[in-house]
Copies of this chain bind each other. A is one copy, B any other.
Amino acid sequence: MPDNKIGTYNFVAEPFHVDFTGKLTMGVLGNHLLNCAGFHAADRGFGIAELNENHYTWVLSRLAIELEDMPRQYEPFCIETWVENVYRLFTDRNFAILNKEGRAIGYARSVWAMISMETRKPADLLTLHGGSITDYVCDKECPIEKPGRIKVTTDMPVEVYQTRYSDIDINGHVNSIKYIEHILNLFPMDTFKEKSIRRFEMAYVAESYYGDTLSFYREEVAENEYDIEVRKNGTEVVVRSKVVLV
């Protein structure tokens, strides 16, 4: 029953959600993807609200987005999402981004863990609701690479930023979307005048908090391919990211 396994959600690219080129920003797209994940899980009994009642929550570990195009200001688009795999400690959730004609203009992959809100330790997904989460596994194709390895060796930050009020979410953490914004702000605007983001990856490694000093390290690892690492307070890695331009 693919209708039940794939969730489809409609959006419009709002004026304050597009960048200077008139295309939806990566941060807003990421926000929509994560919202779709939430809607889809909630509709099937695996949403944050239900999990929280049992003191569990979802934690996003990886996100990879690959795009041929981006919706333009005022254009409607839609996001499909489905569960590709459920393992003991992780689940893979995929996405397709369809333009107003219904053609896929991009795909995304995400990896999630479920953790205990008390111990912060990972929980066994296969015992959740008697393993019924596996009923939603769907074999729809997602023709992009899985999240890969991101490696930064430089010790010279390109940016240092102290987190502020607007960075912090209801859990007291810097929110997953704000990292995307800060990372793309490492690039001069001219970069996006000439090039588009072909692939964007995020690896969420640790949480950062209000007042933390984030250092951003960036390396061009191949032509038009940048690996980025964000460390907090001089040491601990918080997130890693890859930006491939075309």
Contacts and interface: CB of A to CB of B under 8 A. Distances in A.
A164 B185 contact: yes
A140 B191 CA distance: 48
A166 B179 CA distance: 12
A187 B166 contact: no
Interface in A14-69: 14-16, 18-22, 25, 27, 31, 34-35, 38, 48-49
Interface of A: 14-16, 18-22, 25, 27, 31, 34-35, 38, 48-49, 73-74, 164-166, 168-170, 172, 175-177, 181, 184-185, 187-189, 192, 210-211
Nearest to A192: B165
Contact of A20 (B20, B27, B192, B210): B210
Contacts of A35: 14-16
A137 B207 CA distance: 50
A73 B38 CA distance: 13
A56 B147 CA distance: 46
A151 to B, nearest CB: 25
Contacts of A25: 166
Contacts of A38: 15
Contacts of A48: 15
Contact of A170 (B15, B176, B185): B15
